[in-house]
A and B are shown apart, each in its own frame.
Chain A
């Protein structure tokens, strides 16, 4: 399958299709999905939607759990970091 284009924090990236947004970000070495109250980076913990550590803005909808959403061609993902 051909790669698709996903915009991560405004930068266009190639991603294989059929992966979660969380996996796509981690593939690019992006480990700060959000920052805690002290500015420390946070990243996925549970991988299955219960810990909410992977929440990012996807296509301008904030607070979506990156581990539960599949990448789509042209998708915009913005971390809170």
Chain B
């Protein structure tokens, strides 16, 4: 049987802001064949997930347009499932797996939400904060439905606006970070005119809903779906009836692909230098997989990585880009300091609260003195379909465990697809 063997000069994994910017920069810097892979069907990532390109921010539209002009080849509904080496990826292209030989790789896998378990968090109707937004973008209809949001950081603000715009009855937006930290953050971050305008736009969109800082979710109740939620500010508890609860404890980098390629991970983020190079030769990383700092920083890092991977080291080292990168890193540090999950969020679970959703492992079955591997082998924690993507970060926050080691394959391909992708080259 003949096999197609795709060859790329630069392969970008993840088509969010960082990946798009990286692919555009690489292509515009003269890299030959630039591939942009994403697990969803359209470029844009989570933040620019869209059905109508016209509704996207200007930066997003511009990058999408430039990607097309520069000949970036977008491959949607595809995931990296394995790697024989950093230059020989195994990609599941919509159910058919194949090798992808590539001279350079840019990992731009973004971030996902951190979920800290609380009683009732497995009830249908309880989603992440970004999770609810992703479902809305996927076509979820919440018109007239009662929604409570309990989370943290700029994403909470953006999702509140999106939920209100979608016609829901947004009852409460609870920000877990304490007031003094929010004030300090505002005085720094909102000096930036663009950020201030965006924050105001969002607040206007959900103007009729109270925004409570220093307030967090403590439990959800219901039978076949969520009916009531309890929020707390440490002094008072308040019970609200609702149809949807979006709850999360901030964002964390997605590092699985980078780890599979052997890249060093520091404190949960891919380690990069000022050129966005990882510890592995010919592998770069950009955007929130290297630290959560928002889409503007991701675009800058993507551009640096794209130029660097295309051989334009001078361009990647330009003062303008490096200055913007430094600013992005400072903003990331400010985000981390402001919106770090408060201690109360680590103590919400009862012994009966599910920690590992895939394998139904409850808090009472775990002991803080264990290691991650011990918990895994003794209780099946993290052994299910998500392979610890949800409970791993939760247990890091709860017990200080180090999370699951990354094992191939990623993304649960069928055995047939995985085997197919591992066939030797002709």
Footprint of B on A, CB under 8 Å? 16, 18-20, 22-24, 26-27, 31-33, 36-38, 40-53, 55, 63, 67-68, 70
- Give the distance in Å from the alpha carbon of A44 to the alpha carbon of B115 in the complex: 13
- Closest Cβ neighbor of A31 among chain B residues: B124
**Measured between C-beta atoms, what is the minimum distance from A48 to chain B in Å?**
5
* Known interface pairs A52-B385, A63-B412; A46-B138 also in contact (CB < 8 Å): no
Q: Mark B361-392, 1 if CB is under 8 A from A, else 0.
A: 00000000000000000000000111001100
- B207 contacts partner chain A, Cβ-Cβ < 8 Å: no
- B127-135, B233-241, B295-303 - interface stretch: B127-135
Task: Choose from B46, B358, B359 the contact partner of A48 (Cβ within 8 Å).
Answer: B46
Instruction: Out of B77, B112, B359, name the residue touching A50 (CB < 8 Å).
Output: B112
Residue in A18, A45, A50 with the greatest tally of chain B CB atoms within 10 Å: A45
Contact residue range for chain B? 35 or more
Partner of B132, one of A47, A49, A63: A47
Task: Evaluate whether A55 and B130 lie within 8 angstroms (CB atoms) in the complex, with A22-B135, A24-B139, A37-B360 already known.
Answer: no
Chain B's nearest CB lies how many Å from the CB of A70? Answer: 6
Interface residues of B (CB under 8 A from A): 39-41, 46, 51, 77, 112-113, 115, 122-128, 130-135, 138-141, 224-225, 254, 354, 357-360, 384-386, 389-390, 412
Q: Judging by beta carbons under 8 Å apart, are A46 and B139 in contact?
A: no
Contact of A38 among B39, B124, B360, B390 (CB under 8 A): B360
Number of A-B contacts (CB under 8 A): 113
A22 B360 Cβ-Cβ under 8 A: no
- Which of chain A's residues have a CB closer than 8 A to the CB of B132? 47
Evaluate contact between A45 and B130: CB separation under 8 angstroms: no
Find out whether the CB atom of A48 lies under 8 angstroms from the CB atom of B131. Answer: yes
Residue of A nearest to B42 (CB): A70
Q: Please, how many angstroms separate the alpha-carbon atoms of A36 and B134 in the complex?
A: 23
- Which residues on the B side are within 8 Å of A44 (C-beta)? 127, 131, 135
Return chain A residues, CB-CB under 8 Å to B358: 52
Contact B360 A36 (CB under 8 A): yes
Apart from A18-B51, A47-B131, what 16 extra A-B contacts exist at CB < 8 Å? A19-B138, A19-B139, A22-B135, A23-B138, A31-B125, A36-B354, A41-B123, A45-B126, A45-B390, A47-B127, A50-B386, A50-B389, A51-B390, A52-B385, A63-B385, A68-B40
Q: Closest CB of chain B to A8's CB: distance in Å?
A: 14
A49 nearest in chain B by CB position = B39
Q: Do residues A51 and B135 form an inter-chain contact, with CB atoms below 8 A?
A: no
User: Which residues of chain B are within 8 angstroms of A70 by Cβ–Cβ distance?
Assistant: 41
Residues of B within 8 A of A20 (CB): 135, 138-139
5 pairs, CB–CB < 8 Å, chain A vs chain B: A22-B138, A43-B124, A44-B127, A46-B134, A47-B130
A37 to B39, CA, bound (A): 29
A15 → chain B, closest Cβ, in Å?
8
Q: Which residues of B contact A47 (CB under 8 A)?
A: 127-128, 130-135, 138
**Is the CB–CB distance between B125 and A48 below 8 Å?**
no
Q: Is the CB of A46 within 8 A of B131?
A: yes
A61 to B: closest C-beta gap in Å: 8
Q: Could you say which residues of chain A place their CB within 8 Å of the CB of B123? A: 41
Instruction: Give bound CA distance, A19 to B134, whole Å.
Output: 11
Chain B residues near A36 (CB-CB < 8 A): 122, 354, 357, 360
Given the complex, which residues of B lie within 8 Å of A26, measured CB to CB? 135, 140-141
Measured in the bound complex, the distance between the Cα atoms of B141 and A24 in whole Å is: 9
Let me know if B224 and A41 touch, CB within 8 A.
yes
Q: How far is the CA of A46 from the CA of B128 in the complex (A)?
A: 5
Which chain A residues lie closer than 8 Å to B141 at the CB level? Answer: 23, 26-27
Q: Which 8 A-B pairs have the closest CB atoms?
A: A19-B139, A47-B134, A31-B124, A43-B124, A20-B138, A23-B139, A52-B385, A47-B131
Query: Does B225 contact A41, Cβ atoms closer than 8 Å?
Result: yes
B139 near A27: Cβ-Cβ < 8 Å? yes
Residues on A with beta carbons closer than 8 Å to the beta carbon of B390: 45-46, 50-51
Instruction: Specify which chain B residues have a CB less than 8 angstroms from the CB of A45 in the assembled complex.
Output: 115, 126-128, 131, 357, 390
A46 CA to B308 CA, complexed, in Å: 33
Q: Which residue of A has the minimal Cβ distance to B113? A: A46
Closest to A70 in B: B41
Complex alpha-carbon distance, A76 and B90, angstroms: 29
- Across-interface contacts of B412 in A (CB, < 8 A): 52, 63
- Shortest distance in angstroms between A5's beta carbon and chain B's nearest beta carbon? 16
**B254 & A50 in contact (Cβ 8 Å cutoff):** yes
A24 and B357 alpha carbons, distance in the complex (Å) = 23
Nearest chain A CB to B108's CB is how many angstroms away?
A: 15
The answer, among A27, A53, A55, A67, for a CB contact under 8 Å with B134, is: A67
Residue in chain A with minimal CB distance to B46: A48
